[in-house]
Chain A
Amino acid sequence: MNGILIENLNVWFSEGHDRVDAVNGANFEVPAGGSFGLVGESGSGKSTILRALTGMVKTWSGRMEMLGRELGPTRDRSFYRAVQMVFQDPYGSLHPRHSVDRVISETLQLHGFSDIDNRVSGLLEDVGLGPEFRFRYPHQISGGQRQRVSIARALASEPEILLLDEPTSALDVSVQAEILNLLTDLRKQRKLTYLMVTHDLTVVSHLCTDIAVMQLGKIVEILSVEDMRAHKTSHPYTSHLLNSSLGRRREATEAG
């Protein structure tokens, strides 16, 4: 069964003269239990694909399937139970006046769970936060701890797919390592499917097995991480990205 299947997806904003085609004919699939990365510069349309999948953008055409079910114009509760998202900015994605306990228990209530008390402490434990964090507010915890809370909230509905929108780009490198390790462990334990959006090739190569490279709304290349490590790229933009993140250009200019 496919985790995520996208065929000839187009997403646009506004109509007529102002129309902007954010995604053009995107195709890719992620097997259930797989981890797939979307890379590209800002404005390349990678986050827009996530927004179309979750139903936050209505203007799209093409075919999208998740867990074997075709997606229509609306999403029902069972969809949101199976698919959850972790956002980029841990400072903006938690309600400043809700405690950690309230953030997570509210999600549990919405999805109709009964043993909320046990589940909240279980979830906090899963993401490596002690019970002392349960009644704190976002301003009382660090960025990495906030991102752990966001992950706990995403896991609350026991999803099968996690959409990760640059989950570590706002964090320090040492904290980034902790969060990446946590995501790796969780995927193993819960057999999750990851679709990750990032501009950092090193992060994507750590967490994902396959990568789609996007430029100006189009997927220019889909390749495995092994191929990328071996520089077996077919599109010049991919090699350009690869070289910039390895810093080859500077060495080249200095030598020449």
Chain B
Amino acid sequence: MSNLLDVENLWIKFPTRSGVCEAVRGISFSLGRERLGIVGESGSGKSVTGRAILRLIRPPGTVEADRIDLEGRDILRIPELEMREVRGQGISMIMQDPKFSLNPVMRVGDQISEAYLLHADTSRAQAYARSIEMLEAVSIRGPERVYTMYPHEVSGGMGQRIMIAMMLIPDPKILIADEPTSSLDVSVRMQVLEIMDRLVRERGMGLIFISHDLHLVSRFCDRVLIMYGGKILESCRADKLHEARHPYTRGLLNSLPRLEAPRDRLDVLNRDPAWLDQPSVSGML
């Protein structure tokens, strides 16, 4: 079994007053030791997919799947206590906004050590040393000083790097990054991506990169799944994204303003209702 993660026929549903909302409708994909991008607009189901893998969808929302296997072990049906082991050590997730995902009343360093202490049988002193090492690994200058800071004292880019340090310290097999850079400035964005890229490659992790930025994904990932209306419309190699065939993908690509090719008017996406009824494309390897 070479795949890190296999997801088959995943459905995510939320009951509402006006009927059941199907956020994700029967998608299948797998992840090897690669960088897999999931792109789509808001409401396409990309973020809930990431959350469902970690079983973070709260009731009344329901998750159904034929299987969600982490290295051959079905994590959909294991008890919650075992799932806690999986979160962090098996799979960890970088959330979109560091401001809302870090504990505001706890020093950032303690939050990183906590993540390590929970998963490794070790002493506080060692956890401190590892945290400092990790902060250095994400290119933070003066890690001893940053360790003692509170989240409101760090900038957005720094906060995001702290989140990355926290998520990587238990040495997970899979990292899910949900729009990790969309709240950052362009120059900081590249820096954070480079750090993630380096760590993922060095440690041989699998990365699921969730984003709405097509150009970013095509540069950064190996493979891309394009989601629309809770389905995978297209699956292709990231460097071949610009040759994508599906009219939705083409529409998205054409609606972006381009620096090197100025146009008077941008193409507007015409949505075809038939896309919603198409069967989902398999993202299996």
Contacts and interface: CB of A to CB of B under 8 A. Distances in A.
Interface of A: 41-42, 143, 172-178, 180-181, 184, 199-203, 205-206, 225, 228-229, 240-242, 244-247, 249-251, 253
Contacts of B269: 174, 177
B268 interface: yes
Given A42-B156, A245-B186, A250-B220, A177 B258 contact: no
Contacts of B185: 41-42, 199
B81 to A, nearest CB: 39
B256 A177 contact: yes
A164 to B, nearest CB: 14
Contacts of B263: 206
Contact of B219 (A176, A181, A206, A250): A250
B252 interface: yes
Given A176-B255, A250-B220, A253-B194, A206 B156 contact: no
Given A174-B41, A199-B185, A247 B257 contact: no
B187 interface: yes
Contacts of B203: none
A244 B190 contact: yes
Given A174-B268, A177-B257, A199-B186, 16 more contacts: A173-B256, A174-B41, A177-B256, A177-B266, A181-B266, A200-B186, A205-B257, A240-B187, A241-B186, A244-B189, A245-B259, A246-B260, A247-B215, A247-B219, A249-B194, A251-B219
Given A177-B266, A247-B190, A247-B219, A172 B41 contact: yes
A220 to B, nearest CB: 13
Nearest to B197: A250
Nearest to B185: A41
A228 to B, nearest CB: 8
Contacts of B219: 247, 250-251
Specify the main secondary structure of chain A where it touches its partner. helix
A173 B255 contact: yes
Kindly list the 9 A-B residue pairs having the minimum CB-CB distance in the complex, ordered from nearest.
Answer: A206-B257, A177-B255, A177-B266, A174-B269, A41-B185, A172-B41, A244-B186, A202-B257, A247-B219
A229 B264 contact: no
Nearest to A253: B194
Contact of A173 (B41, B156, B197): B41
A50 to B, nearest CB: 18
B212 interface: yes
Interface size class of B (residues with CB under 8 A): 35 or more
Contacts of A241: 186-187
A54 to B, nearest CB: 24
B260 A229 contact: yes
B214 interface: yes
Given A247-B215, A253-B194, A181 B268 contact: yes
Contacts of A202: 256-259
A173 B259 contact: no
Contacts of A247: 190, 215-216, 219
A42 B157 CA distance: 11
Interface string B217-256: 0011000000000000000000000000000000110011
B96 to A, nearest CB: 13
B201 to A, nearest CB: 11
Contacts of A205: 257, 259, 262
B265 interface: yes
16 contacts: A42-B156, A173-B255, A174-B255, A175-B41, A177-B267, A181-B268, A199-B185, A200-B186, A202-B259, A206-B262, A228-B259, A229-B259, A247-B216, A249-B190, A250-B194, A250-B219
A96 to B, nearest CB: 19
Contacts of B213: 173
